[in-house]
Chain A
Amino acid sequence: MSILIDKNTKVLVQGITGNIGTTQTRYMLKEGTNIVAGVTPGKGGLKVEDVPVFDTVGEAVNNFPIDVSLLFVPARVAKDSVLEAIDAGIKTVVLITEHTPVHDVMEMKAYALQKNAILIGPTTPGIITPDECKIGILPTNMFCPGPVGIVSRSGTLAYEVAANLCAIGIGQSSVVGMGADRVAGTNLVDILKLFNQDKDTKVVVIVGEVGGTQEEDAAEFIREEMSKPVVAYIAGTSVPPGKRMGHAGAIIEGGKGSAKSKIESLLAADVKIAGRLYEIPSLVKELIS
C-alpha cells in the first residue's frame, strides 16, 4: 500500500516534448512508471519513447484512462495547463514547474478544491512509491520500499532523508514533495491525513523548513488526530530573518515562520524532533522497533 500512487497508476505527461519532459519521461519509463500518453499543444500525433502525444488533455483522456497528470510546462502557462487537466476530469495533478506566479497558484488551488482534485506542487519533485511508481523527477536510486511515509517541503532534502533511511535498511511507503512555493497546492496537513489512513505506513517523517505556518498547522492536526508516530526536521535554524532562502516560501517574515516556533509547536504535539538531518534515521528506527 501507499498514498496517491501505486503500480496501477496511469500517468499523463503534459509538456512531454520539451527537453526536461522527454528526459524525465525516459527515466520514468525505464523505472516502470506506466506513462500512457503525453500532451503538447501543436505536437499531436508525435511519439516520445513510444508514448503517443496529443494536442489537448481532453483528447488524451478520450483515448486512455488516466489517474494522474504530471506537468513539465513553462511557468507562464502552468495555470492554464493545470486547469485544463482538472477540467478534463483528472483528479491528481503534479506540477513540477518552478517560479509559477503565486496569484496563479492561488487560482489553481481554489479550482482544485472546488473540483475535488489534488494539486501537488508547484516546485515539487513529485511523488514516489518505491519499486511501484515514480511520478516526477526524484532520483530513484535514493529510495527503497518500506514502512516510512515522508512528506517534504524541499525536494533534495527528501532524497537525502530517504537515502539515509535506506542506508540503515529502512524503506518508504511513499514520499511526497509538497512543493516549496509561498502557497502549496496541497497542504502538509492533507498529506498527513493520507499517511494516517494508509495501513502500510507505520511512521511519518516531516521534512519542513522555515517560512509559513504549515508545520504549526500540522502540529495541531497531529495532536488532535494523528494515530501514527511522527518525526520532524526543520531546515533553516541558522537562517537570519528577512532573507529569502531560494524557495519562494523560505523566509521568516514579521516574526512568523521561524524554526523555533515550528519546533515548539511540533514538540507540544509529541513529535520527535531531529535537530539535525542526520538524527532522523535513529529516531525513526526507535519508533519502528
Chain B
Amino acid sequence: MRLHEYEAKEIFSKYGIPTAQGGLAKTPEEAQEIAKNLAKPVVVKSQVLVGGRGKAGGIRMVENLNEVGAIAEEVLKAEIKGYKPEGVLVSEKVNIKKEIYLGITIDRTSGIPIIVICSEGGVEIEKVAEHSPEKIFKFEVVDPQRDIYAYQLISMVKKIGLTGKTLTETSNIMAKLYKVFREYDGLIAEINPLVLTEEGKVLCVDAVLEIDDSALFRHPELNKRKLDAMSERDKRLMKKGATFVKLNGNIGLICSGAGLAMATMDMISDYPALSPANFLETGGGITSDLMVDCMELVLEQPKLEAIFINLYGGINPIHEGAKGVAKVIRERKLNIPIVAKALGNRQEETWKTLEEVGVHIIKESETQKAVEFLAKLLGVKAK
C-alpha cells in the first residue's frame, strides 16, 4: 500500500521528522485558507500515486497568495497519467540551499534493510544512479532485529559531506525514518528531497512510504483506509489471497499460481491476435464461491473473446472451484469459448463438472497444448 505524500508526511511528522508546513485541501477554498494561514509563498502539489507529477504539471509554485484558489482548482481537476488526485497539498515554499536524499528499502536477496543516502536530492534516485553513482552511499543493516545506533548513522551521513549541526540533525532524521520503516512495516521509506534551507533548517519536503500489504493487520487504521476504497468483490478476492491485474487484451485468464499465470501469459502473447485481458491468480484458497467471483470479474473485461483456465490441485480443491465455474456458465447461459486445463488432486471430478457445461478440457500437463487448442478454436496463428 503506497501512501499519499500528505499521509506519509503526517506519519513522519508524528515521529518527529521536521516537515514543511502545510495541509491537504480538497477544494480551492480550503487551499486558499491554508495558504492564508501560512502567510508566505506556497507550493500546490497534486496528491496522486504516480511518479513524475512535477513534469505533468502537478506541482505549482504560487508567489501571489490571491492566486492559490484558482491554481488549486486547476491542479485538482487535472488528471496525472490518467489518475485523478485525491486532493492538493498546500505547502510552504522553502528556500533551498541544498537538497539530499534519504531512503530505506529491502535488499531482496540478503533479506535485510538497506539505507541509501545521496548528496543529490529532488530527482529520481535511479537517475542519479545512472549519471553519478559516486554520490550514492548504501549501507546494509546487518541485523534487522536490532535498532541502528546513532554513531552508525553519523558515520553514514558524514559520507555525503555534511558537518556540524546539519550532520547531527540529518542523522537524527535518518534514525526516525528507520523507526517509521520498521514500525510501519515499510517496503520503502524515503525523504526526497530533504532540504537544507537558507535559514539553516533541515526539512522533509517530499515523502514516500509504501507499506507491506501482508502486514496491514498490524495497522488497522491504514487497513480500514485501504478497505474503504475497495469494492465488496475485491475485498472477498483479497481475503482469499487472489490477485487481479487488468491488462486490456482479449483472453480472460484464471490461473492457480502467479508463476503459472505469467508463463501462460507469455505463451498467449506468442499469438499476435491474442493478448491477456487480465492477470488473475487465485492463490491457495479456491472455493466454489471464489471461482464465481473470478469468473464474473473476467467476464467484465471489455474486449473478451475467450476464457482460459489453468489450475493445479495441490493445496487447492479444484473440484470445488469447477462447481463455481459451472454455476456461472449455467446461470448466465454463457457461450463464450472456455478452455480449461486442471490437474492434480481430484482432477477427474473436476473434468466431469466442467465438461458437463461445455468447457473444453485439456488433460495433458503442457499448458502449451492448451494454448494451441485455444488458438485453433479462435482460428489464429502464432507469429
Contacts and interface: CB of A to CB of B under 8 A. Distances in A.
A276 B214 contact: no
A107 B144 CA distance: 6
Interface stretch (B5-13, B131-139, B307-315): B307-315
A235 B344 contact: no
The SS class assigned to the B binding surface is mixed
A156 B214 contact: no
A239 B259 contact: no
A40 interface: no
Contact of B265 (A103, A125, A182, A239): A239
Contacts of B167: none
Contact of B314 (A105, A139, A180): A139
Contacts of B112: 106, 110
B262 A137 contact: no
B344 A141 contact: yes
B122 interface: no
A103 B144 contact: yes
Contacts of A160: 260, 263, 312, 365-367
Interface stretch (B55-63, B89-97, B103-111, B327-335): B103-111
B218 A156 contact: no
Contacts of A235: 259-260, 262-263, 266
A151 to B, nearest CB: 12
B144 A139 contact: no
Given A160-B260, A238-B269, A255-B126, A106 B144 contact: yes
A100 interface: yes
A246 B258 contact: yes
Contacts of A244: 243, 245
Contacts of A184: 111
B315 A24 contact: yes
B365 A142 contact: yes
Contacts of B257: 154-157, 246
Residue of A159, A184, A249 most packed against chain B (CB within 10 A): A159
A139 B185 contact: no
Contacts of A202: none
A9 interface: no
Chain B CB within 10 A, most for which of A75, A98, A102, A243: A102
B260 to A, nearest CB: 4
Interface stretch (B169-177, B224-232, B276-284): B276-284
Contact of A101 (B111, B214, B312): B214
A249 B215 contact: no
Contacts of A247: 258-259
B105 to A, nearest CB: 9
A245 B258 contact: yes
A159 B314 contact: yes
Given A156-B257, A159-B344, A207-B259, A106 B266 contact: no
Contacts of B258: 154, 180, 209, 245-247, 250
A51 interface: no
Interface string A200-236: 0000000101111110010000000000000001011
B85 to A, nearest CB: 19
A187 B243 contact: no
B338 interface: no
A81 interface: no
B361 to A, nearest CB: 16
B267 A277 contact: yes
Nearest to A99: B214
B106 A102 contact: yes
Given A156-B256, A156-B257, A246 B243 contact: yes
B294 to A, nearest CB: 13
Given A102-B214, A139-B345, A246-B279, A110 B261 contact: no
Contacts of B260: 154, 156-157, 160, 235
- Max count, chain B CB within 10 A of own CB: residue among A167, A183, A207, A255: A183
B343 interface: yes
Contact of B368 (A211, A243, A246, A278): A278
Contact of A182 (B106, B218, B344, B367): B106
Contact of B366 (A96, A101, A102, A164): A164
Contacts of B267: 276-278
B215 A103 contact: yes
A278 B366 CA distance: 7
Interface in A85-105: 96, 98-105
Q: Which of B267, B314, B365 has the most CB of A within 10 A?
A: B314
Contacts of A273: none
B109 A217 contact: yes
Contacts of B149: none
Contacts of B261: 245-246
Given A110-B111, A236-B263, A237-B266, 5 more contacts: A110-B112, A154-B260, A160-B367, A207-B259, A246-B261
Interface of B: 106, 108-109, 111-113, 126, 143-145, 182, 185, 187, 212-215, 217-218, 241, 243, 245, 247, 255-263, 265-267, 269-270, 276, 279, 281, 283-284, 312-315, 343-345, 364-368
Interface of A: 20, 24, 27, 75-76, 96, 98-107, 109-111, 125, 137-139, 141-142, 152-157, 159-160, 163-164, 166-167, 180, 182-184, 187, 207, 209-214, 217, 233, 235-240, 243-250, 254-255, 276-278
- Nearest 4 interchain pairs by C-beta: A154-B259, A156-B257, A246-B258, A163-B365
